[in-house]
């Protein structure tokens, strides 16, 4: 009888391990990892690539950028200034020498991480740390940049153009099966010199 009971308990434990699944989402903090910075930059880049700036080629513009995070906005403004310069616009600070005023809103600039686990997460039993039993794990890292661009006449402050919003996303996913089999999937592009971006372990 006891032998049968032990077998039943053992089978229940195995079944629990095989069917236990959980999901979690970790919002990023201000201090970003290397991977988060790569995802953020390419998200911004892809959002800006969606704007058609040909009508403003050669124009002298004053640039103002606002968003929810001061750190992100400061970088986005510098990045946008370079982007506008590459497309023939002249970003100036002297208000007397401005033809257009460009107001840029960045309501979404973020990197989120989500995790799906089939198995048992790490836990402590009677003071003893028990490592995670991973049958399947997927860790997804996704950046999203949403940028809105409005152009005003410098003399009248009247709105002359409201460009369609630009949305850019980038992702990096890592997979693990049966503890040791792992691989990654990403749409991060290579640098202009042809070298690959450095990829780091994303599992927390």
Task: State yes or no: pLDDT of 18 exceeds 50.
Answer: no
Query: What are 32's two structure tokens?
Result: 């970003």
User: What average pLDDT does the structure give for the chain?
Assistant: 81
Mean pLDDT across the stretch 107-135?
86
Alpha carbons 155 and 32: distance in angstroms, whole number: 41
Mean pLDDT across the stretch 90-109?
89
37 SS3 class:
helix
Domain 21-186 indexed as CATH 3.40.50: no
Q: How far is CA 9 from CA 2, 4, 76, 101, 160, in A?
A: 10, 9, 57, 72, 73
pLDDT of residue 120: 83
* Range of lowest pLDDT (46-55, 58-67, 118-127): 118-127
Task: State yes or no: pLDDT of 20 exceeds 50.
Answer: no
Reported as a pLDDT band with limits 50, 70 and 90, residue 3 is low
pLDDT of residue 93: 83
Reported as a pLDDT band with limits 50, 70 and 90, residue 57 is very high
pLDDT of residue 32: 75
Domain boundaries in the chain?
21-186
Alpha carbons 123 and 101: distance in angstroms, whole number: 56
Higher pLDDT, 133 or 17: 133
Mean pLDDT across the stretch 156-182?
92
């Amino acid at each position: 009888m006891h032998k049968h009971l032990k077998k039943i308990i053992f089978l229940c434990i195995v079944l629990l391990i095989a069917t236990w699944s959980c999901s979690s989402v970790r919002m990023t903090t201000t201090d970003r990892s290397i991977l988060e910075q790569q995802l953020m930059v390419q998200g911004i880049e892809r959002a800006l690539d969606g704007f058609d700036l040909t009508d403003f080629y050669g124009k002298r513009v004053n640039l103002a950028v606002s968003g929810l995070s001061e750190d992100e906005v400061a970088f986005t403004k510098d990045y946008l200034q370079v982007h506008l310069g590459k497309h023939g616009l002249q970003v100036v600070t002297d208000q007397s020498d401005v033809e257009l005023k460009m107001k840029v809103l960045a309501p979404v600039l973020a990197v989120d991480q989500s995790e799906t686990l089939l198995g048992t997460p790490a836990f402590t039993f009677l003071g003893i740390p028990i490592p995670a039993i991973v049958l399947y794990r997927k860790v997804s890292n996704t950046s999203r940049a949403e940028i809105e661009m409005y152009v005003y006449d410098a003399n009248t402050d009247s709105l002359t153009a409201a460009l369609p919003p630009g949305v850019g996303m980038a992702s990096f996913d890592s997979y693990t099966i049966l503890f040791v089999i792992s691989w990654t999937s990403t749409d991060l592009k290579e640098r202009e010199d042809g070298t690959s971006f450095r990829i780091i372990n994303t599992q927390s």
